[in-house]
Amino acid sequence: MIKNFITYTLTCILLYTLGLFLHNTYLETNKILLPFSLQKIYLFHAGFSLIVCINLLALSNVNKILDQLGFIYLGTILLKILLFSIIFYKSIITNEILEFSARISLIIPILIFLLTEAFFLVQILQKKE
């Protein structure tokens, strides 16, 4: 379990660092300005994904909850969307029209970390079968 904890932590840190660096480099190269902080977006998704993965790993050790782990994950996705909307309301939602590059810049970190969470959840479920 400690090995998995370290793996999840290092993966989230690596994805945060590499994703943010590559994303910022692309934006600076093309001289694209965003109306929000890309660093805060990546930090939110990395932190939330790490918390979700660690909690799912801990819950996988409880036999009664193991069968419901997929449903719990779906609930965390809903919670993630809700918290993201609340935290970044002023910088994202109040802007009536976001440019295409800004919309894509929001979707990229979401996809990176959702796919990572799903990958780790599949690994957890396969180990327990």
**What average pLDDT does the segment 88-107 reach?**
80
- In this prediction, residues 77-81 reach a mean pLDDT of 93
Q: How confident is the model at residue 34 (pLDDT cuts 50, 70, 90)?
A: confident
Inter-helix orientation angle 2-29/38-59, to 10°: 160
Residue 93 pLDDT > 90: no
Helices assigned H by DSSP within the chain:
2-29, 38-59, 63-66, 69-87, 100-128
Task: Report the pLDDT value the prediction gives residue 70, as an integer from 0 to 100.
Answer: 86
Prediction pTM value: 0.89
Q: What are the distances in angstroms from CA 35 to CA 50, 54, 105, 106?
A: 26, 32, 11, 11
Rg (CA), the chain: 16
Extents of the domains making up the chain: 2-128
- pLDDT, position 96: 66
Q: Which two tokens stand for residue 68?
A: 């419901």
For range 56-82, the mean pLDDT: 89
pLDDT score for 95: 64
pLDDT at 111 over 70: yes
| Residue reference for tokens 């440019």 | 99
- What number is the average pLDDT over the span 25-36? 90
Whether residue 33 has pLDDT greater than 70: yes
